[in-house]
Chains A and B, each alone.
Chain A
Amino acid sequence: MKLPRTLTAVLLTLIGGASSLCAQSYVLNNGTVLKASEVKLSGNALVQEIALPGGGSAERRYLLNTVARLSWPEPEEVGSAEAELAAGKNAEALATITPIYRIFGPFSKTPGSWWTQAASLRLQAMVASKASSSDISSAAREIMNSATDPEAVGNAKLALAQVDAREGRDSLASAMIDQIVNDAPSGVRARAWLLRGDLALKKQSFEAAIEAYLHVPAFFGTLDELMPSAILGSARAYKGYGDASRSERAYLDVIDTYPNTAEAQIAKNEAGF
């Protein structure tokens, strides 16, 4: 059986560096270590081709459910996709990470697999590139079903809440946010507070919006990347609440402290500076 072209290409990429070649391996239940370069994925098995002494060859099959863990360095695509997402190149990030997500698909729950990271990045890229709600929902649910990493599961829940909010199902979104702020890791909780702020602002519940946005600087002070959104949100909510001076101060805070962000530009426009 031939491997799909993308899979082959990525496998070649993965095994491209001599230094990492030996590190890419499958460790079976019985302790056997199979180098990735010496096996191919075929259906529900890894297939190893064995040269016979008298010429010719034979295949040895190892069922996937006998793979106990993967010994695999981080694929370059993970870092690349993260960088692309950070730079706002969402479509590129999606294209970069999707092959990795597929390659590790059969090993979604296997220790050492990079599936969870890839699936999470893929989901983030889908949300950021405003993919269809149904695509985002199914990607999120897949992570919730397959991943055990609380960060990944939390992010998937948050994506579902974002989809609900986008579709105007505010009460569903709020219910999901309640879950997240109670039990998710801190980074996800902080983003959930941002979404809660957005929902409250949409409903003109300005006091609730201020409190939601300000949860981020108050309790998640190390998450610098979320501060511009949180402070900008609070500036808008203060304005609606009728506290013009705090609103202006928050706008200035975004502009002065995070001058190179998109939020700073928005703040300048909204505040009329």
Chain B
Amino acid sequence: MTAPRFPDHPTPLRKPGIILALLLAAGSAQAQVSIPIPNILAEVENYIKKRQPADAAALLDRVLIRADAGEAMPDGVDMDRIRLAAATNHFQTQNYPRSVEIITGLLAKNPQSSALAAEARMLMGLALALQNKYVEAIPVFAAAEVSPSYRDKAMLYGAMSAQQAGKIDEAIAAYTRLLSASPRDRDWADAALSLINLQLRTGQLPDARRGLSLLRTNLPLVDNLAGLNVLSLQLGDALTEAKDPAGALTAYRTVLFKKDIIAQQSRRNARIEADIKRIHDMTVGDATQMDAVRRLNGRLEQAKSAIGEIEKLENYDATLLFRLGNAFQLRGGAWEAALIFEEIIAKFPDSTEREQAYFGLVRAYADAGRLEKTNDAALRFQRIYPNSSFGAQALYLAAQAAGQRGDTAAQLQFLSIATDRYRDNVELREPMLLMQANALFSLARYSEVTGIVQNYLNDYPQGKFVEEAAYLSAMSTLADGEASAAAQAIKTYLDIYPQGKFVDDARYRMAATDYARQDFKSALERTKSWLADYPSEHPQRGEIYSLQGDVHSGLNETTEAIDSYQQALLLPLSDEQLGYVLDELTRLYQGERNSDAAVEMWETFARERPDHPFVINAAYWIGRLRSREGRVDEALDRVADIASRYVSDADRDSVERLLIEVASMLSKPPKGKRGEPKPEPQTLDQLFARVDQLLLTPATRDSATARARALFVKSEIAGFRKQPRIQKEYLDRIASSNAPDTLPPGILGKIGDHLLEKNEIDLARSFYTQIITAHSKSIFADYGYTGLGQIALIEGDGTEALRRFNDAIDKAGARFKLMDATIGQAQALLLLGRLDAAQNLFEQVASNRSWRGPATAESLYSLGEIMMKRGTPDDIAKAQAHFQRIYISYKRYVPWVAKAYLRSADAFEALGQNQESVNTLKEMLRDERLTNLPEAATARSRLVPLEAGLPASKGGNS
């Protein structure tokens, strides 16, 4: 910003003609010795009209000399005005000292007119300022502020003087007063810019930030946009430095890009020039307007200068974008940052910011949890800047992000590249090695953990993480099942680090190793001493009691075990541990044939922690325990009582598991009593009525969600009773009578699958979509992603399908649909022609014993198709083997068998083994289960030409 400019002419002069009209009154008779005063004044007026202020000033001085010499002035002549006119004309001739001298004299006489005094002060202040006597000008302008007419200008010039005098605090105070009191116009905006500039220079960043925010809402008033741009950049940098990313972002977002700032400033310059011209055209010689012109010219000059600077900066946009991206990133706007860094990379290939933008991009994607993008960006960065000094950091971040997302394979990939390529980066290699060891630990690759840790300890014997490495090594040995070796390693750790970070955990693990080695006595002693040595609020205390319970169990001390587990229940436990302790207690109570105690425990839990997810487990166990005792009705009532608390809440997704248990209990035929005829099972209608009675209480029956859940239980009962038609009918009823947004995710998933099976794709899509939009964190979310993936496959969109199936696994954890999602991924990859990746997944499915069934048959078939696509004789032979395996080993899956026979025949034919092809088709046609399938018709039509082409001797081979 350039320094403020003062007008070099008086601001508020009245028109000279008017002044002189006031000065001139009736003539006097003093002209005998000198020129009469009225004549002089008439001549003065003449000079002023002709714009000859020097001549006018000389004449007025003569009048003043005569007046000061005691000459009586004619009647009607106002000496105060004569003095002011003299000062004004001296000012116009730039004789500022004389102007100040005259006004000092005038003010010393305390002029009667306060308006005249204010006008004089303004003139004096300007005259002083134009002599660079800013310190003297400040109080003069301050005194002029009392005049309502000159207040705004006095404050403005006062602020400018203070600024020039280096009295920044005074300048800021004056600008602040001006901005709060004066109307919001273009002068106001200009003053605001000056104020922000001063606040920035003096480090008053919060005030500068507030000022900038205020200007942002008044942008049309700002003439000097280019100046605002520069200030905003400076403020943004200062706020970044001051660790205020939100403020920095606000500042940077005010900055326009080069093209925009040049265009907009050009328009504003044209507006200023037009204003100047308009004033020139409309008002010739009006001093107030000329003052306005002067200020406009000053502003125009500043704007042009700033825009000139911006035009010179070739890298302006890239620099601005980089600052913006960084500010977004620091403020948690990782998505916005990624967009910006991508823009720099794409649009500014030669900019110096590009390399750092790549690093920022990796960081932004990692922070946003966009794993695939992080991977992709990290790899692009490595490819384009293989030797970047930011490379190690980027890979470290990418590895961290992958770890947070649970993608340990990717994490290890990044760490492997980083530790290999940046061996010399000691600062990062150390934490990366430890991260690598942790990642391997989470993958249960314990022997590799030990190797990495050993390398670390060799390379960095005095490293920052030596203690962590030693302990991780011990834990790795323990997790690997080598209890004795682990005990030794933990003992070594405790010897070396008696006050170490992990001593409490180590002592607990020592007890655990004793327990693992069935040294229950030592384990018990260790748990007791641990409990004695650590305070009651230690977070691991519950865990120790749980282990102690295990130890007592191992010693067959059931009462003590129950006591320890009960102690554990009173302390903080993770959900996993809590579930374990509750289950162990249930098991022990059952062993003691004390169902009442187990039921009481679960009842207490459900009562004291009504919102805990395990309340559903409570209902499950209460129902099961009572049911085993033959108290089915009591069990159902209790389960229904708990279920009905949550049955109207669509977000409580675990209710569905309980409802399935209810359906199961209801569906079971009643047990007969000895000596009595077996009772008749209840009809479906009776069971359905019971469902309504149990679930649709007065409190719940108006809830659409509760009603849908009751229908769901009925459909499950029909399923248990092997009534698929009725089961589907009820699913249809749920779908037709409920909007997706009233349904819980478990039911949405079931309905979606049902509709998809019926080929009602759009309707199925709406149910799946509701799951992922409204219940994305539900345990049933994988139903939504998988269903949408299957729809995308049907629609031939491999990319979309792959994305959805990936989400089913990565985002939703694929609790229920892992197999479907994995097959879906493979199918999508096949559709996209990514044969190797598809093959890999199909092989995983085919080799998974727990998925053995239609999925295996489908995977084998697809593997055959992949081999056929590759088309070499060797591949076709492998394909043939896959197809053959289906109709030999997976005969139960008729549709796949039919397809496999046909493709097997194709493979033989492609290999030139037509006889084998014919044999295969004939074998297929002998299978009666396939007779009516379309594939059988295809086989028959294929046989004719095949047999016709064979030698007669082989044609009848069967």
Is A210 in the interface zone, CB < 8 Å from B?
Answer: yes
For A213-225 the 0/1 string (1 means CB < 8 A from B) is 0110111011010
Chain B: interface residue total (CB-CB under 8 A): 29
Binds B, one of A108-116, A140-148, A236-244: A236-244
For B788-813 the 0/1 string (1 means CB < 8 A from A) is 10000000000000000001000100
Give the contacts of B170-228 with A (CB-CB under 8 A).
Answer: 216-217, 219
Residue in B255, B260, B340, B772 whose beta carbon sits within 8 Å of that of A242 in the complex = B772
Is A6 in the interface zone, CB < 8 Å from B?
Answer: no
**A210 to B339 CA separation, bound complex (whole angstroms):** 10
Decide: A221 and B252 in contact? CB cutoff 8 A.
Answer: yes
* Minimum distance in angstroms from B749 CB to a CB of chain A: 16
Residue in A219, A240, A244 whose beta carbon sits within 8 Å of that of B777 in the complex = A244
Residue in B254, B328, B340, B369 whose beta carbon sits within 8 Å of that of A243 in the complex = B369
Residue in B260, B333, B773 whose beta carbon sits within 8 Å of that of A186 in the complex = B260
Decide: A222 and B254 in contact? CB cutoff 8 A.
Answer: yes
Q: How many A-B residue pairs have CB under 8 A?
A: 55
Given A217-B253, A221-B254, A222-B253, also A240-B773 (CB < 8 A): yes
Q: For residue B781, which residues in chain A have a CB less than 8 angstroms away from its CB?
A: 242
Task: Tell me whether chain A's interface is mostly helix, strand or loop, or mixed.
Answer: helix
**A181 to B343 CA separation, bound complex (whole angstroms):** 13
Closest to B342 in A: A211
Decide: A204 and B769 in contact? CB cutoff 8 A.
Answer: yes
Decide: A211 and B216 in contact? CB cutoff 8 A.
Answer: no
Q: For residue A218, which residues in chain B have a CB less than 8 angstroms away from its CB?
A: 324, 328, 333, 336, 339-340
* Minimum distance in angstroms from B342 CB to a CB of chain A: 9
Interface magnitude class on chain A: 20 to 34
Given A224-B216, A224-B217, also A240-B772 (CB < 8 A): yes
Given A210-B335, A211-B339, A243-B369, also A222-B772 (CB < 8 A): no
**A234 to B368 CA separation, bound complex (whole angstroms):** 14
* Minimum distance in angstroms from A270 CB to a CB of chain B: 12
**A224 to B324 CA separation, bound complex (whole angstroms):** 16
Q: For residue A246, which residues in chain B have a CB less than 8 angstroms away from its CB?
A: 335
* Minimum distance in angstroms from A22 CB to a CB of chain B: 11
Residue in B219, B328, B769, B777 whose beta carbon sits within 8 Å of that of A222 in the complex = B219
For B806-829 the 0/1 string (1 means CB < 8 A from A) is 010001000000000000000000
Closest to B369 in A: A243
Closest to B263 in A: A185
Closest to B336 in A: A218
**A239 to B772 CA separation, bound complex (whole angstroms):** 9
**A218 to B343 CA separation, bound complex (whole angstroms):** 10
**A214 to B324 CA separation, bound complex (whole angstroms):** 13
**A204 to B369 CA separation, bound complex (whole angstroms):** 19
Closest to B768 in A: A204
Q: For residue B773, which residues in chain A have a CB less than 8 angstroms away from its CB?
A: 204, 239-240
**A210 to B807 CA separation, bound complex (whole angstroms):** 17
Closest to B339 in A: A218
**A140 to B472 CA separation, bound complex (whole angstroms):** 69
Is B256 in the interface zone, CB < 8 Å from A?
Answer: yes
Is B776 in the interface zone, CB < 8 Å from A?
Answer: yes
For A223-257 the 0/1 string (1 means CB < 8 A from B) is 01000000000100001111110100100000000
Given A186-B260, A214-B339, also A221-B324 (CB < 8 A): yes
Residue in B253, B369, B769 whose beta carbon sits within 8 Å of that of A221 in the complex = B253
Q: For residue A219, which residues in chain B have a CB less than 8 angstroms away from its CB?
A: 339-340, 343
Closest to A213 in B: B335
* Minimum distance in angstroms from B367 CB to a CB of chain A: 11
**A186 to B260 CA separation, bound complex (whole angstroms):** 8
| Residue picked from B217, B252, B339, B781, most chain A C-beta under 10 Å | B339
For B467-494 the 0/1 string (1 means CB < 8 A from A) is 0000000000000000000000000000
* Minimum distance in angstroms from B651 CB to a CB of chain A: 12
For B316-343 the 0/1 string (1 means CB < 8 A from A) is 0000000010001000110110011001
Decide: A217 and B336 in contact? CB cutoff 8 A.
Answer: yes
| Residue picked from A204, A214, A242, A249, most chain B C-beta under 10 Å | A242
* Minimum distance in angstroms from B246 CB to a CB of chain A: 11
**A214 to B336 CA separation, bound complex (whole angstroms):** 6
**A186 to B257 CA separation, bound complex (whole angstroms):** 10
* Minimum distance in angstroms from A230 CB to a CB of chain B: 10
Q: For residue A224, which residues in chain B have a CB less than 8 angstroms away from its CB?
A: 216-217
**A242 to B777 CA separation, bound complex (whole angstroms):** 7
Q: For residue B254, which residues in chain A have a CB less than 8 angstroms away from its CB?
A: 221-222
For A147-158 the 0/1 string (1 means CB < 8 A from B) is 000000000000
Closest to A243 in B: B369
Q: For residue A210, which residues in chain B have a CB less than 8 angstroms away from its CB?
A: 335
Decide: A222 and B216 in contact? CB cutoff 8 A.
Answer: yes
**A242 to B769 CA separation, bound complex (whole angstroms):** 12
Q: For residue A222, which residues in chain B have a CB less than 8 angstroms away from its CB?
A: 216, 219, 253-254, 256
* Minimum distance in angstroms from B445 CB to a CB of chain A: 30
Q: For residue A239, which residues in chain B have a CB less than 8 angstroms away from its CB?
A: 773, 776
* Minimum distance in angstroms from A199 CB to a CB of chain B: 16
**A210 to B260 CA separation, bound complex (whole angstroms):** 25
Given A242-B776, A242-B811, also A214-B335 (CB < 8 A): yes
Q: For residue A244, which residues in chain B have a CB less than 8 angstroms away from its CB?
A: 776-777
Can you name 7 A-B pairs with beta carbons within 8 Å?
A211-B335, A218-B328, A219-B339, A219-B343, A221-B253, A221-B324, A242-B772
Q: Given known contacts A219-B340, A221-B252, A242-B777, what 6 new A-B pairs fall within 8 Å (CB)?
A: A211-B335, A222-B219, A222-B254, A234-B335, A241-B776, A244-B776
Q: Which 6 A-B pairs have the closest CB atoms?
A: A221-B253, A242-B776, A218-B336, A240-B773, A218-B339, A214-B336
